Structure 1
Amino acid sequence: MKLTEAFQLAVKNIKGNKMRTFLTMLGIIIGIAAVIVIVGLGNGLEKYMRDQFADMGTNIVSVSIMGRGSSRSVSEAQMYELVEENSDYFEQISPMVSLSDGVKIGTETSKLTTVTGVSEGYFKMKGYTVSSGRGLQYVDIEKRRNVCVVGNYLNSTYYDGNAVGQTIRLNGRNFLIIGVMTQKTSGEMKKGETDDCVFLPYSTAARMSYNGTINSYSLTVVDETQVAMSVSIIEKYLYDIFSDEDAYRVISMAQMLESMNAQLNVMIGILAGIAAISLVVGGIGIMNIMLVSVTERTREIGIRKALGAKERSIMQQFVMEAATTSALGGLLGITVGYGLTSVATVIMTALIQDNMTVSPSIGAVMRAFGISTFIGIVFGYLPAKKAARLNPIDALHYD
């Protein structure tokens, strides 16, 4: 029997038992749809995280100095020298000083606004731009001026779009607003988010901080492929000073992203594996129905074998029927899965209040379809073998 003939007979038998076939395929449909949604969710989350880290800068290395167990310290001058001596790896550096006493504008106080002391090159490092006024300059750092650049949220909410030249109170001091950042968020600006921020000279912020020292730095690397080497250079430099690995912490955004993606992929793999269990259940359902089909068609098999049909042809027919049923279930599962990914996109976007697309890769879809067909062949083999080995005389007498 040719494969085309076996396929035609399989389609005919499927059409003759539509409801039973659909119920048989249900496990395959659910399993394939679940795998597609879970893989799509993983892809969507990975892309979302990459976009978020891209905003923070995957070429940025963050350094925190705690100085535990050592009286030694590292000055900003030493950190700048480190960058200059390793210019093949590092491009720019900015000391970072965070202030946490909140922002006061007139009679209103905002505790969620981030206030950070940075260098004049920080905006270039992060890709920030100034929409009005000017950014921080070296002279502001050198003279420890009480000037700042504010985010667009503060500009539009408290200053009616005319913040430049106005004052803002930080940690009990009045600061002159010299510039306004270009809006970073694509949608509506909200309190406590990216555009709700203030940047001032790090030298001024250090003087206002609790201990008056600078313990955090952001560095940009020349080539993102050399991030690991860049981190090693910083760690060696700091270890030579402190002789204590607990005295500092060096974090690469790119390495952090890869680590988070690895953990996410493990979680998605586990969930996909759990969802794939339904495929095995679906395969068992196919085997059960095919065994029933063999019993129902015992006389048909006996007649065919009496007319000279070989065991190979009988087996081929039943395997083809099982594979066709499973493949059809796989196609329906893919259709359902894509429909559910659209629903999942809407739900996830509403939950995180940001754009995120749940989109399975074509490779994952093709693998899911291949697995569904393979399951049909594997679980259809035993019933097919049983049918092929029926004694034609016993089969003809079967009632």
Structure 2
Amino acid sequence: MLQSFKLAIRSIWGNKMRSFLTMLGIIIGVAAVIILVSLVNGYMGSVVESFASMGVNQINVNVTNLSSRSLDVDEMYAFYDEHTDLFDGLSPNVTVSTTIKHGDDSLTSTSVAGRSEQYLEIKDYKLEQGRNLSYADIAARQKVCVIGAYVAQELYGGAEKALGETLKVGGYAFKIVGVVEAQDEDDLEQGGTDDFVWLPYSVAVKMSRNANISSYTFTIIDTTKAEECKTQIENYLYEIFKDDDLYRVTAMSEMLDSLNEQIAMMSGMLGGIAGISLLVAGVGVMNIMLVSVTERTREIGIRKSLGADKSVIMRQFVIEAAVTSSLGGLIGILIGCVATTAVGAAVGINATPTPAAIIISFSVSVGIGLLFGYMPASRAANLNPIDALRSE
């Protein structure tokens, strides 16, 4: 075995250009698999992270209230209180379409919404200044608000200056009792994650002139029980509406699982497409090995006449093909890893070579060497020694 390996290395080194051209297809194929799969995983990983930041422990509920069948906020809170073993947060959500003003300055794209006192914890945000909305604010319909860092900076010049100031929301004066820490400190922008105003939902309902709230956000204690929590909510809503078209319950963890499945499928498809080049490279390996057998027919005849049996000859050529494809695979891995990091940095993606892609692509390259090297090796092993010695 060691002698066959040495002969394979000597043959490859003796025909450097031909060996390199034989490896080229393997190199390109392996590098392509690593680069494509790693870049897709890196991009999709950033998508998953941004998706997960929405809260994988959240369940969003939207209902369509009718005059004959409707759900009020007290009923939803009664359901929540009965299932504190499953849920640890609830916030009604009331969107208010309006403009906010301070003096002569106004903001038109700011998200204004009614929230509960638990919404800060639901979003996992922290306060930079002041306090959060309280149950007393909601019960007494106090005209107070909590604002995002962009609003504080744009209208007041900072969180500390904004605290205690008055903000006009839809013509009503609200006292700013809290400022949330910036979620995107490097880029406070209009319409971004820090451009919002939270009001007590009881006040927002009056401002939006809606009799009943149609949107709620729950947080669940155990994400592994997301399906059970979702079923409990759906059963409760069906008892009220008697029509599952009048409500929609969405578990964020289920959507994340679905997204991960799609990512895995996409990575597999792209890896498979890139892997086609490995098959093409395998044909190249077989062709070059057939040429090698033809060129070395006399050598094979001499070895056979000296007592080498078929298995020795076959092993020599199979090992040579495997070594050629393995070296190509190793070079392809090196190029693929460097290119993945460079391309990822260039396009702003945190892409790192995927171990699975490296292992699979290298294994396939070695397998191709063995598979496509078998036929030339078999041909060499079955040569007649006398005919081989006559070859020029």
Q: Same fold (TM over 0.5)?
A: yes
Superposed, 1:219-234 pairs within 5 Å as 219-234=218-233
- Picking from 368, 379, 382, the partner of 2:361 is 368
Please point out which of 7, 10, 18 is paired with 1:9.
Answer: 7
Equivalent position amino acid for 1:381 in 2? Y
Identity of aligned residues (%): 48
User: Where do residues 337-376 of structure 1 align in structure 2 (5 Å cutoff)?
Assistant: 337-349=336-348, 356-376=349-369
Q: Which amino acid aligns with 2:123?
A: K
Tell me which residue corresponds to 1:71. 68
Asked if residue 393 in structure 1 is aligned to residue 392 in structure 2, the reply is no
SS in 2 for 1:234: helix
Question: Which one-letter code corresponds to 1:107 in the other structure?
Answer: D
The AA in structure 1 aligned to 2:389 is: L
Matches within 5 A, 1:267-306: 267-306=266-305
* Cα contact 1:27–1:282 (8 A) shared by 2: yes
Q: Which amino acid aligns with 1:63?
A: V
5 Å matches for 1:209-224?
A: 209=208, 211-224=210-223
1:235-274 Cα distance to aligned partner (Å, 9 max, x none): 1111121121111111111111111121222222111111
CA spacing shift, 1:389–1:186, aligned 2, 3 Å: farther
**Equivalence for 2:239:** 240
CA shift for structure 1 position 211: 3.1
Measured after TM superposition, the shift of residue 75 of structure 1 is: 0.9
Query: Partners of 2:343 and 2:102 in 1: how far apart?
Result: 41
Structure 1 residue 123 displacement after superposition:
0.7
Paired amino acid for 2:375: L
What is the 5 A alignment of 1:11-26?
A: 11-26=9-24
- Indicate which of 141, 144, 153 corresponds to 2:141: 144
Deviation at 1:210, TM superposition (A): 5.1
- Call closer, same or farther: CA 1:319–1:163 in 2, change over 3 Å: same
What residue in structure 1 maps to residue 201 of structure 2? 202
Q: After TM superposition, where is structure 1 displaced by more than 4 Å over at least 4 residues in a row?
A: none
Distance (whole Å) between structure 2 residues aligned to residue 278 and residue 172 of structure 1: 66
TM-score, normalising length: structure 2: 0.95
What do you get for the CA RMSD once the two structures are aligned?
Answer: 1.7
Give yes or no for contact 1:33–1:336 (8 Å, CA) kept in 2.
yes
Per the alignment, in what secondary structure is the counterpart of residue 335 of structure 1?
Answer: helix
The equivalent residue for 1:62 is 60
The alignment's TM-score, normalised by the length of structure 1, stands at 0.93
Q: Report the Cα offset of residue 387 of structure 1.
A: 0.8
Counterpart position of 1:352: none
Q: What is residue 248 of structure 2 aligned with on the other side?
A: 249
Q: Deviations over 1:291-317 (max 9, x none)?
A: 111111111111111111111111111
Counting only pairs closer than 5 Å after superposition, residues 63-102 of structure 1 correspond to structure 2 as 63-67=61-65, 71-102=68-99
Distance 1:283 1:195 in 2: 55
Aligned residue identity for 2:140: K
Separation in structure 1 between the aligned mates of residue 81 and residue 347 of structure 2, nearest angstrom: 45
Equivalent residue pairs, number: 390
The separation in 2 between residues aligned to 1:183 and 1:24, in whole angstroms, is 56
Report SS of the residue matched to 1:128.
Answer: coil
Deviations along 1:67-103, one digit per CA (max 9) or x if unpaired, are 47x8301111111111111121111111011223343
Confirm or deny: 8 A CA contact 1:43 1:360 kept in the other structure.
Answer: no
- Compute the displacement of 1:60 (Å): 0.8
For each residue in 1:8-44, what CA deviation from the matched residue of structure 2 results, as whole angstroms up to 9, or x when unmatched? Answer: 1111111112222122112211211121122212332
Structure 2 residues without counterparts, runs of 5 or longer: none
In structure 2, give the amino acid aligned to 1:234. Answer: I
Q: How big is the shift at 1:51?
A: 2.4
The residue number in structure 2 matching 1:383 is 376
Aligned counterparts of 1:130 and 1:39: Cα–Cα separation in 2: 40
Distance in 2 (CA, whole Å) between partners of 1:110 and 1:159 is 12
Please tell me the residue identity of whatever aligns with 2:287: N
- Equivalent pair of 2:48/2:259 in contact (CA under 8 Å): no
Instruction: Tell whether the 8 Å contact from 2:145 to 2:199 is kept in structure 1 after alignment.
Output: yes
